[in-house]
Structure 1
C-alpha cells in the first residue's frame, strides 16, 4: 500500500489476471522497450514476502513476453524496512546529508555503505535491468559488486543531467537515464519550483528540501518540474537537455531583473528560473542576467547591435549547469542575440526581442481534419502577439473559447502552474502570451468552429472538418 484504498487490496487475487491482460493488450506495440514491474515498491526490502513477489512478477512477465527485458525502479530505504532497520538507515541518511542540502527521500547513504545493496539484492535477482531512482553515485560501487548487472537510471533529478549524462555515456553497464519528468502534470504541486532569496535567508540553510510540494501555497497546481509544459511548449529545462545530448542549437534566456543580486534556491526537482522574455517593465538601465545553453567553445552576447563581450565555455555557469554561460548586463529594450562559436566558426545563434503591446490573437491548429469517432482531438495553440507577430511574453489576457458544430471543447487552458482557473469552463488567462484549446470530434460528420475572444481583441476562429 502506498495510499489507503489503493490497488493493494486487490493485489493478491488479481495481479496475475491484470498483468496478463495489460501485457497481452500492449505487447505488440513497438514503442514498448522494457516492462517494469513496479516503482519504489514498499516491499523492496523483503517485507511482506516482497522478494518472492518480485520474482513471481518478473517470471510471469517473461512468460507473457520473452522478447523484452524486465525492470523495476528501486529507490533508497526511506521506507520499506522494519522499524529498527528503518531508524538505523534513516540515521545514516541524516549523517550523510548533515550540513548539506539533499532530498531525504532519495538520498544516497554513502559509497562505503552497502546496506542498500544487501537489502535489495534478492529483490533484483529476477530482473534483467535494475532501475535506480536518484542513486547515480552508487553505479561504480554496484558495478564492482555485481559486474553482470545492467543498470538503468529509472528516475533522476532534471537539473543534474549535465553532470550525469557524460557518466552514463562512459559506462557500458548503464544503459540510459530517465528524468522526473518530461511532461508537466497536475499534482505534486510546486515540487519543481525555485525561489530567489537574500543571502541571509534561513531557507537557504534548509536547502532544496524546503521547497517540497507541501510548502506550495494555494493555488499552486502543477508540479512545474518538466522539459515540456502542459501546452506542449519546450521549457528551458528541455532545451538544456537537448544541449547536453549534443544539439548544435543555441538557447538564450533571461532572468527577471528584480532578482539580480539574490541567491536562487532550486528544489531537487526544479530548474533555474529563466524565461524567453525581454519585456521587463520598469527595468530600463537596471542590471540583469541572461543564461545561454550551448555546446560552443565560446558565446558572444550582442545587445542592440553592439557586442558586450564573449565568455569561454566553463568560465561562468548559470546555476552550476555545465554547458551554460551566464552574462551580466544592463537591461535595455530591443534585441539581444547570443552567438555560439566552435573552433572559431559560428555554430548557431538565438535571439530575444522586446515585443510591442499585445494587439491580436493568433490561432495555430495542429491539424484541421478529425475522424468522426467521438474521440479524435485537435490541439490549437493560442498566441497573443504584437503588431509584428511577435508573441508578447508577459501577456496575461482573459480569454474565452467556444466551439460550435460537429465537435466540442474538451479543454481550454494555459501552462500556468499557479492558478485556480478551470480547464473545462471555456475561460482561461493566457500565460506568457500562450494558451491551448483542445477540440474533440463528435460521431457525426460536419464542420466544427473554434472561436477565441478576449476583451479589447478581435475574436478569431478556426474551422475543423469532422469526417
Structure 2
C-alpha cells in the first residue's frame, strides 16, 4: 500500500474552546504549549505542566484517487484515551497513549466532498502517567492507500532461522484472490540477491552480512502482489539477519557471540521538544548515545516509536522494548491501570507486531516496577503475558522489571498506594488545574522517597532472603530476571536460583563501576541499564543537588521541570558520570577532569539518590582565585597524576576509576595522566582556563533540511572564549530569530529549575550553554537563524530546505 503523510493541515483546541483553535502540523504536544502552574497537583512529576482534554481536526477532500480504494489511517501515538470520528461517525480510537493503531476509512470517505476528521483525547483525569506524558497526537499520522487486493501495513513477518548458512523465513498476510501470486525479492545495498514465491517461504541469503550494533547491516524485502503480469500492490520491509540466544552458562548471545549490555533507560519525551517524536530527534539521540559508549537502550516505560526503532536498526543499538508501567495497580490514581485488564492483550500485541522485523529489538519487557508481581495473582498474570509474547514471537526473551524494595514491602502487606480507601473510577471527574502542595504519587516514587530519607536502613532491610520472597514467583515465569535497584543481591539470588539469568534493568549511574564489575565477572549477569541515559521532563529534581537548605528529599518544588538524572543532559551534553561510565566500559581512553564548583565551596551539599557529584569539566572560575576546591579525575588504569601549570600535585591510586585532589584555583592548565599496573603512561587530558573575552559559539548539527514540515536542525549555543572554551559560570539570555523556510520549534537549556518557556524565542544559558531547534517548512528555499545576546556580536547560520 502507498503511505501518505497526513500530518499537515490540522487544528487543535481545548475541549469547549474551539474559538481558540490553533493551526498545527503534527506531531504536536498540547501539554508543552500550556503555561506551567506553580503548586499544580503532582506538578513535580510532570514538570508542573497541566493536562487537559483536546480535540484535533483535519479537513480533507475526497479526491478521485481514493475512489474504490482501501484506505487505512495510522496513528503512531495519541496520548491518551483517544476517539476518532470521520464526518461525526465514531470509527476508532485507543485508550493506551503509547500504542500505535489503525482506523479503517474504506467506504467511509465522501468522494468529491470535504471530509472532517476529529480526534478527541481525554487527559483530564490526573495524575495519569509517569512522568511527563505529553498530550495529543504526539507521533505521526499516515494514510495508507491500496487496492481491494492489498498487503496491509505490518502484515509481513521476517525472522532469521540460522546464520550459517543464513536462512530467513518470510511470511505475508495479504487480502487477495486465490489466483493472485506473492513474490518476494531480497535486496542488499540496491542489488537483488535472492527471490521466492508464496505467502510463506524460506530464503537462503548468500554471503550474508549479519546485523549487530558494530555492523548494523540491513536488507530489504520487496514483496509484490501480482495477478498474471499486473502488480496489484507492493510492500518494502527492512530487516537484519541475526539470532539471539540466552542461557545461564553463556549469558546473552547475538549471532552466537556473548554480548554485555551497556545500557541506559530512555524516557519517551524529547526534552525541550516535549513528547513530540521527530525522526531527526530520534537519530540524533541514538547517535549521541552510541558516541557516549552505550550499546543498548531500555524504553522506560512505554513502547518505542517507529522512527526510534528505525534509528536503532540503522545506527546499531540494542533495544529492550517495554510495554507497560502499570498493570492493575497504577503508579498514579488514574491512567492505564483503569483499563489494563481489558486492553493489555491488544497493546502488547501491537508492540510485538511493531517490533518483530527490527533486528535492534532483542528483548521484550512486560512491565516496570509492577507491584502486582509480588502477589499470586500477579505471578499468574506474569506467566500469562510471557506465554502471550512467546506465541507471537518465540525468538526473543521476555523480562519483567520489579522494584526489588517495592516488591519486598508489597509482599509484606505494606501499601504503596496513595489512593487509600478511595477507589479511582473511569467516570470520576478531576480538575487537571487543581493545586495541592501536599499531594504525593505512589509506586516507586514513594519507595525512592523512603530510600532518600534512610538509605542505610533500607540497605539493611534488603537482604537476599527478604527481597527474594517478593520476586521469586514472577522471575520464575520469565526468561530473564530484570532487577530494578537490586545489584546488592545479584550474587546471593543466583546462589538461591542458579538457573536465573539476571539483567540490571534500573541502576544508579554513579554505581556503574561496581555494577559493571559484577557484569564482567558473571556470565549470568548480562548487562546494566542506568537510570537514566538521557534527562527527561517530570519526576522533577530526582537528581538535583541542593546547596545550603534542602528543598526536598526526592522531588523538588516549582520551578523544577526535569528529573536531572541523565548522564546526558536535556539538550544532549554528556555529563561527568557519563564520562565515568564510558571509562568503566572501556570506550573512553583519556582521563576526564572534573571540578567541584567553586561558587558553592563551603556550602552544605545535599546529594540526591541519583547523583553523587556536582563536578564539571571547567577550570574557569573567575572571581574565585585563591579558593580551594576538589578536582576529580576519572580514568582507566591503576593510577593517575595531576599537574597544575606543569607542576605535579601527586600520583594517586584510582578507586572505582576515580581519584580526588584538593587544589587551589588560579587560572592556568590542569593536566591528568593515567598509568597502567606496570607504571606505563596510558593517556593524558587537559583542562584550561578560558580567556577574558566572551563570544557566542554556535553549531548546527545540519544546515540542509527536508522540506516536509517535520525535519529539525539542533543548534547548540555556548558562551566561550575565542578558542571555544566554555565559560561555565556565565549566564546570559540568548535570543533566537528564524527567517525564511523554517520556524523556531523550541529553545531551552539543561537547567532543571527554570520559569522560562521552551516555546519562546529566548532562553538563559545554564553552565554556559543553551539550545535552539529549527523546524523545516513545507516549501523549498533558504533561511537564516540569528543568535544574539547583549554585549556580544550576534551569529548567523544559513540553512536550506530541499525536496
TM-score when normalising by structure 1: 0.87
Residue 218 of structure 2 corresponds to which residue in structure 1? none
Q: State the 1:150 CA deviation.
A: 0.7
Counterparts of 2:453 and 2:761, CA distance in 1:
49
Q: Is the 8 A contact 1:413 1:436 kept in 2?
A: yes
The match for 1:111 among 455, 463, 466 is 463
Output aligned runs, 1:10-25, within 5 Å.
Answer: 10-25=339-354
The match for 2:591 among 230, 244, 250 is 250
Rate the CA distance shift 1:447–1:46 in 2: closer, same or farther, 3 A: same
Q: Is the 8 A contact 1:334 1:354 kept in 2?
A: yes
Q: State the 1:100 CA deviation.
A: 6.1
Counterparts of 1:54 and 1:461, CA distance in 2:
56
Q: State the 1:109 CA deviation.
A: 2.9
Match status 1:232 vs 2:572: yes
Q: State the 1:26 CA deviation.
A: 2.3
Match status 1:337 vs 2:638: no
Residue 400 of structure 2 corresponds to which residue in structure 1? 72
Q: Is the 8 A contact 1:334 1:353 kept in 2?
A: yes
Q: State the 1:269 CA deviation.
A: 1.0
Counterparts of 1:3 and 1:389, CA distance in 2:
46
Counterparts of 2:409 and 2:472, CA distance in 1:
14
Counterparts of 2:763 and 2:453, CA distance in 1:
44
Q: State the 1:79 CA deviation.
A: 6.0
Match status 1:284 vs 2:635: no
Counterparts of 2:475 and 2:650, CA distance in 1:
53
Rate the CA distance shift 1:122–1:9 in 2: closer, same or farther, 3 A: same
Residue 267 of structure 1 corresponds to which residue in structure 2? 608
Match status 1:451 vs 2:786: yes
Counterparts of 1:392 and 1:444, CA distance in 2:
39
Residue 553 of structure 2 corresponds to which residue in structure 1? 211
Counterparts of 1:110 and 1:233, CA distance in 2:
35
Q: Is the 8 A contact 1:358 1:384 kept in 2?
A: no
3-state DSSP class of the match of 1:164?
Answer: helix
Q: Is the 8 A contact 1:357 1:392 kept in 2?
A: no
Q: State the 1:102 CA deviation.
A: 4.2
Output aligned runs, 1:420-431, within 5 Å.
Answer: 420-431=755-766
Match status 1:297 vs 2:638: yes
Q: Is the 8 A contact 2:410 2:470 kept in 1?
A: no
Rate the CA distance shift 1:139–1:108 in 2: closer, same or farther, 3 A: farther
Q: Is the 8 A contact 2:452 2:554 kept in 1?
A: no
Q: State the 1:264 CA deviation.
A: 4.6
Residue 61 of structure 1 corresponds to which residue in structure 2? 389
3-state DSSP class of the match of 2:540?
Answer: coil
3-state DSSP class of the match of 1:119?
Answer: helix
Residue 142 of structure 1 corresponds to which residue in structure 2? 493
Counterparts of 2:350 and 2:529, CA distance in 1:
26
Q: State the 1:43 CA deviation.
A: 0.7
Q: Is the 8 A contact 2:403 2:483 kept in 1?
A: yes
C-alpha RMSD over aligned residues: 2.7
Match status 1:37 vs 2:366: yes
3-state DSSP class of the match of 1:28?
Answer: coil
Question: Runs of 5+ in structure 1 lacking a partner?
Answer: 88-92, 204-208, 315-321
Question: Deviations 1:402-436 (Å, cap 9, x if unpaired)?
Answer: 22222211111111122111111011011122111
Q: State the 1:358 CA deviation.
A: 4.6
The match for 2:517 among 166, 175, 190 is 166
Counterparts of 2:365 and 2:635, CA distance in 1:
35
3-state DSSP class of the match of 2:406?
Answer: coil
TM-score when normalising by structure 2: 0.52
Higher mean C-alpha displacement, 283-292 vs 234-243:
283-292
Question: Deviations 1:116-147 (Å, cap 9, x if unpaired)?
Answer: 32332332232110101111121122112211
Residue 108 of structure 2 corresponds to which residue in structure 1? none
3-state DSSP class of the match of 2:738?
Answer: strand
Rate the CA distance shift 1:358–1:437 in 2: closer, same or farther, 3 A: farther
Rate the CA distance shift 1:82–1:72 in 2: closer, same or farther, 3 A: closer
Higher mean C-alpha displacement, 254-263 vs 17-26:
254-263
Question: Runs of 5+ in structure 2 lacking a partner?
Answer: 1-329, 416-446
Counterparts of 1:453 and 1:240, CA distance in 2:
35
Residue 127 of structure 1 corresponds to which residue in structure 2? 478
The structure carrying a bigger helix percent of its residues is 1
The match for 1:241 among 581, 584, 588 is 581
3-state DSSP class of the match of 2:745?
Answer: strand
Q: State the 1:350 CA deviation.
A: 1.9
Q: State the 1:399 CA deviation.
A: 0.7
Q: State the 1:81 CA deviation.
A: 6.7
Counterparts of 1:346 and 1:146, CA distance in 2:
44
Question: Deviations 1:319-363 (Å, cap 9, x if unpaired)?
Answer: xxx111111121111222112222333322222221123532222
3-state DSSP class of the match of 2:362?
Answer: coil
Counterparts of 2:409 and 2:664, CA distance in 1:
55
Q: State the 1:69 CA deviation.
A: 0.6
Question: Deviations 1:10-36 (Å, cap 9, x if unpaired)?
Answer: 212221112212221222222211110
Q: State the 1:240 CA deviation.
A: 0.7
Residue 90 of structure 1 corresponds to which residue in structure 2? none
Residue 287 of structure 2 corresponds to which residue in structure 1? none
Q: State the 1:115 CA deviation.
A: 4.0
Match status 1:313 vs 2:647: no
Q: State the 1:295 CA deviation.
A: 1.3
Counterparts of 2:693 and 2:561, CA distance in 1:
27
Rate the CA distance shift 1:126–1:425 in 2: closer, same or farther, 3 A: same
Counterparts of 2:589 and 2:375, CA distance in 1:
47
